[in-house]
Amino acid sequence: MLISKLLRVERRRLHTIVSRELIQPSSPTPCRSKIYNLSLLDQISLNSHTPIVAFYQNLDQSSLNKTLELKNSLPKTLTHYYPFAGRVRKTSPTYVDCNDEGVEYIEASNDNSLSNFLKQSEHEDFDPLFPNDLIWFNPRIRGDTEGVTCPLAVQVTHFACGGVAVATTLFHKVGDARTMFNFIDHWAAMNAKKDTSPISPQIISHQARNINLPDILSEKSNVGCVTRSFMFPNQKLNDLKAKVTAMTIESGQPIKNPTRIEVLSWLLHNRATAATTKNNAGTFKASGMVFPTDMRSILVEKLPGTSIGNLVFVIEVPTRNQRELAPHFSIGEMRKMKAMFHSVPNLEAATKIVAKMSPEIALETLKRVDEYYIYSSLCRIPTYDIDFGWGKPVKVTFGGTIKNLTLLMAAPDGNGIEASMCLEKEDMEILQNDPELLAFC
């Protein structure tokens, strides 16, 4: 244990910040667009920064020149995403001041080779790759101060072998994960100078509003939590689908054609709650499953995939007892809730639904169970197609930890799903040795 800690301290020591500067859009934001109002869905989203990093294998001896091109293509990209280069209040923001002050662009060096870094690192060792510790619920972006922050920050890290990590963090109240990946993909296409121009983002105009919902999730402590990844190959997922189908038929409430996401979320939740129960002297704790669902493609009037903002519905499925952990119940409830959202005509109607939730209702909903587990699928986003002109990334992942958050992403080679799961350390130790989970890895 001591040797492991010393090795991790050494890896951090080898990471050095080389330069910092502000990158402004190449063209000024038009006067009519100087104020970007945050929607109701933006304002009730997490008060956090979403950290994403993509790793690229050895770029050869000209890696510094190639990343200079990266810096030069950023201003052109920012003209399409002008709110990202403005300033927004850190607490209870209602709008972005699109003043073109610029995004912070940081370059760093790491004396390790990329392959060794990825091989030796635990998930938390990725954190120094992100700019200014802007990782989820970092205390420095929370609190009662009236300061402002830039919605977007970038850090490019050069490894000794010529490999590069491109890390970005986006203030969640300005955009969701889909928004973030759209930006990165657009930037990559601009940098690679592809023949076809990337599709410009859809910036939706919102009316000014000021709400006051409690920022509950960000107040929960992540101390003592760790994030670990599990890989589930396609064949194993097919085996799991067959198992779940058989279980639901046996229950008398068959689930037809369960998806990979449905069965994998069920398995992970089942085994995570089993680990918690074991660490709780065998006493089951009421819990719930939460599924953030991208509304862009499920509303009757579909939204462009490049729409900026927080455009997600949250589906909540209670698992208050062992019976509700059964797949016919949890997957069945998830399908019922999702079907309801398919009937929502448009974004305006969706916003009205959310507007009916008062702070009191939100608090009462959270009190119904002891713990919520969030399962967010990004499998439909082509994360491994982000090509800055250097080829596809060898790894794409998130930084930091949020207790009970699981992120599902397509495997690098397309063969399966990678689940990055954050739990309390004691629960994770049980989960990593759980034969019922490992049977499908």
CA 177 → CA 38, 147, 262, 427, distances in Å?
16, 24, 20, 27
Local structure of 9: helix, strand or coil: helix
Q: Which residues pair with 153 in a beta bridge?
A: 104, 169
* DSSP string for residues in 2-20: HHHHHHHHHHHHTEEEEEE
How does strand 371-377 pair with strand 405-410?
A: parallel
User: Considering 133, 215, 387, 434, which one is annotated as catalytic?
Assistant: 387
Instruction: Count, in order, helices (H) and strands (E) of the chain.
Output: 12, 16
Structure tokens of 62? 């000209």
Q: 389: closest CA among 67, 28, 6, 51?
A: 67
Max Cα-Cα span within the chain: 63
Q: 189: closest CA among 52, 27, 389, 383?
A: 389
Q: Tell me how crowded residue 435 is: count the other CB atoms within 10 A of its CB.
A: 7
In the β-sheet with 164-171, what is the strand arrangement from edge to edge?
15-23, 103-110, 152-159, 164-171, 49-56, 395-398
User: Considering 158, 172, 186, 269, which one is annotated as catalytic?
Assistant: 172
Q: How far apart are alpha carbons 207 and 137 in whole angstroms?
A: 28
Q: How far apart are alpha carbons 113 and 160 in whole angstroms?
A: 5
Structure tokens of 280? 């709780």
Q: What sections of 162-233 are H helices per DSSP?
A: 177-192
Axis crossing angle, helix 260-279 with helix 234-251, rounded to the nearest 10: 80
Q: How far apart are alpha carbons 415 and 417 in whole angstroms?
A: 7
Is-catalytic flag, 387? Answer: yes
Report yes or no: 344 and 353 within 8 Å, Cβ to Cβ: yes
Q: How far apart are alpha carbons 339 and 91 in whole angstroms?
A: 34
Length of the chain as a residue count: 441
Local structure of 349: helix, strand or coil: helix
Report yes or no: 149 and 87 within 8 Å, Cβ to Cβ: yes
- Phi, psi angles (nearest 5°) of residue 419: -110, 115
Radius of gyration of the chain (CA): 22
Is-catalytic flag, 125? Answer: no
Residues carrying an active site annotation: 172, 387
